[in-house]
Chain A
C-alpha cells in the first residue's frame, strides 16, 4: 500500500515536471494568491549549533519537540542550515551541547 502510494506520488511528480511550461493568463494578475500561500521568513536559530549541518542532527530534538525544542512542520526537509541561519544566541534551559 505504501509502495503504491509512493509509486503514485513519484509518477505524478514526474508527469507534472514533464509537462512543458504553459503560459497561463492567470499568472500575471494573481501574485497575491501565491504570496498568501507562500511561507514567511524561517526563524533564526537561537542556540549554538555544532555545525554538522546534516538535518538528522537537528531532527534529534526538532522532529518530536524534545527538550522544549519547537517541533518542525517539515521533517522531510534536511538541509536545515540552508534556510535557518545562526541568530542571536539566547539562553537555553536544558544542557547545551557545548561551545562551538
Chain B
C-alpha cells in the first residue's frame, strides 16, 4: 500500500501530537557524559508573552544550557530561536557589574552605598522642594511580580505619589482598556488550548510567526491535523505569517476600525447574530467621538458612556456597508462579506488574535472593543476553542504590570486609585494610614516623560526597560532627560543601553535566573522560578534596589519581610482573593509549570465566565461576565466609529511608516544583540519597501535611503524582497537596532482612553541618498 505524501504527513503528525500529549519529545543520541554535573531547574523564558517553559542547566555557577521544557503545557518542549539561546543572554562581555555615577561627561565607578546615598538624597531633595509628584519610577512588563509590587507599594503607599508607570503602557494599555470597557475585568477569558481546539483563526495586524512563534506553531500544527482549519491574516504588510496563512487580506492602515464595523454590519444585515446570546449577555453603549490624539502636553480625556438599544446599534452600523468600507480600506466588498460569513458560520469555532497592530493605535481601545463586538454578536466567546484572544507582548505585562497594577491609576486586582473603596482596601492590606494613597492619577508613560522634559518631574528611575530607545518622538524625550536644572535619571539595567547613556546613575542589575521571580503570561498562567546563579560582579536585583531606597527614605517599614519573595506573594494574593483573580499559595507555583488564574482550591481556570470552568459562575448561569456588576453581569458592545489616524501620508510625507519586531531580536535588542548567533542571523535594521515604490524613486535593493518624518530622520538600506514585504505606500522598520533609532521618527500620538502611543502609523518621506 503506497501512502501518499499527504497521508504520510498526516499520520506522522497525528502520531507526533499523540506523543506530544505525553510530553516526551525524544532526544536523539546526544552524549550523556556532557550532561553530567549539570543541575537542572525550571523557569519561564525571559522573552515574550507566550511564556514558554524552559529548563535551565547550571554547572559550576554558570548557565551552560537551556532546553525547551517537555513538561511545559505552553510549548511542550519547543522554544523559538531566541529561547534556544537563553543560555547566552546573561553573558555579554559588557555586562554592568558596578554602580556608576556621572561626573561631567564620564561615568565613574562607585560603591552601592555611595550610589544609593546619592539617589536617596535626590529623591528627598525633590520631594521636599517640589512635592512627591516630582519623583517617578518607570518600570516594565519584564519586572517580576515582586519588583512591580514593591515599586507600587513604595511609590503609592510610601512616598505618596501615583508617578509609577511602565513600558506596558506602550504595548498592552489598549488591550487593558478594551477589556475593562467591554468586560469590566482585564485579561482573556480563553487560553492557549483554544489554539488547538478551534478551526477558524482571524489574525489582525499580528505577525505571529515572528512575534509569538511557538503559539503560531500550535496553529500550524492544528491545521496539519485538521484540514478544516482556516487561518486568515488581516495585515498592512505581507509577513511570514501571511505566507503560511490560508488567506492574506491587506488593508490600509487605521481601517481596521471600519473593517470590524463592516463585518458587524454584514452579520446584522444577514441576521447571522445570536439573538438569544445577545439578549442574555450583552448591553449596548456608545461613547464620545472625535476624541483627539494626545498630541498636546497634559492632554486629558474622559469618556461619557451612554446606553443604546440594539436597534440604535444597528442604526449606527448602517454606514459601514461593505462597499463604503471597501473604498476606505482597499479590501474588496465580497471579501468583507465572505469574512463576515466565516466569522458567523455556526459550524465553525472562531477565534480572533491580535497584539500590537490593535494596541499601538490612536484608537486602540476602540479597535479592541470592535473585535469583541463580533464575538459577542455571534456568541462565539467563553467556549473551548472559540474566543477572542488578546496576545500579550512581554513576559509579565500581565503578571506584573496589569495584575499588580503598576500604572498611575491602578492598584492590584483590577482596582483603581480613583475608587475610595479600592484605596481603602489597599491601605488596609499595606498597613498604611487611610488617605495615604493619592486619589488622582498623574501621568501615563508619554506624559511622564513630557513632564520630565518640562521639569514638572525631576527624578525618574527606570528599571528593566529602555525608554530612551523605545519611546516615540524619541528626540524630545532624550533631550528632556539631559536638561539639567535638578533633573536626575537613574537607570537599572544589565547592559549599557541608550538609556544608560542619559543616566546620572547606573545601577548594575541581576537578570532572569540570577534572582527568584514570578512572571504571568498571556493566558493568565503564573509561572515561578528560583534563583539559579549569582549575578556578576556587584550586580544586585531590582527588588533589593527598591527596598533599599525605601529604607533610606524612611519607608523600610513597608517591607518587613524575611523571605521577601514569598511574603510579598502571600500579601499580594490577598488583593485577588474572592475577586475572580485568585492566585494560589506560593508553594504551589514552585511545583508547577504555572497555573492559570483564578486558582480556587488548587484548581486552575481555563475559561473565565463559563459555567463548569470558572468557579465564580454558578450552576445554571451558563455564561456570566460577573465582573461587570454595573451592567448585571453582561458584556458591552460599543458603537465605536472609524476615525482617521493622527498623521496620515500627504504630499510632503507620502508614506506610512510602521515599526515592530523581527523574530531574532527582543525589543531594543540589548540581550539578543549580544548573542552572536542572533546578531548574525539579523544584524541590523532595514527599510522594507515595495519594489514599485523603490523603482519610482530610482532605488535598487539594499541601496541606502533617507527616511524623514516631522520629528526625525534616518538612513537605512532598503529591503525589497525580504521576509516581510511592504505594501505600496508603506514602509516598515524594526526597532531593535541601537544604531538605528527609528523611534525618533515615530509620533507620540496616543489613544485618549488607554494612553498607548501609535508606533504603527505616521507619515514619512523617502529619498534616495
Contacts and interface: CB of A to CB of B under 8 A. Distances in A.
Interface residues of B, number: 80
A36 B27 contact: yes
A79 B151 CA distance: 40
Contacts of B606: 20
B604 A21 contact: yes
Q: For chain A, give the interface size range.
A: 35 or more
A6 B735 CA distance: 44
B28 A37 contact: no
B688 to A, nearest CB: 12
Nearest to B226: A10
A9 B596 CA distance: 26
B677 interface: yes
Contacts of B42: 31
A27 B35 contact: no
A13 B635 CA distance: 32
B78 A83 contact: yes
A44 to B, nearest CB: 6
Interface core residue of B84, B216, B221, B664 (most chain A CB under 10 Å): B84
B645 interface: no
Contact of B595 (A21, A32, A76): A21
A12 B84 CA distance: 29
Contacts of B55: 31, 34-35, 38
B21 interface: yes
B109 to A, nearest CB: 36
A86 B681 contact: yes
Contact of B680 (A41, A84, A87, A100): A87
Given A27-B591, A79-B213, A85 B224 contact: no
A95 to B, nearest CB: 20
Contact of A51 (B40, B81, B225, B722): B722
Contacts of B24: 37
Interface stretch (B11-19, B294-302, B566-574): B11-19
A66 interface: no
A39 B25 contact: yes
Given A51-B722, A82-B663, A83-B84, A27 B71 contact: yes
A12 B22 CA distance: 10
Contact of B27 (A21, A38, A75): A38
B15 A9 contact: yes
Interface in B174-218: 193, 196-197, 209, 213-214, 216-217
Given A13-B17, A42-B81, A77-B217, 10 more contacts: A20-B603, A25-B591, A28-B590, A28-B591, A37-B70, A44-B677, A76-B224, A82-B216, A83-B84, A83-B213
Interface of A: 2, 5-6, 9-10, 12-14, 16-18, 20-21, 23-25, 27-28, 31-32, 34-42, 44, 51-54, 73-79, 81-88, 100
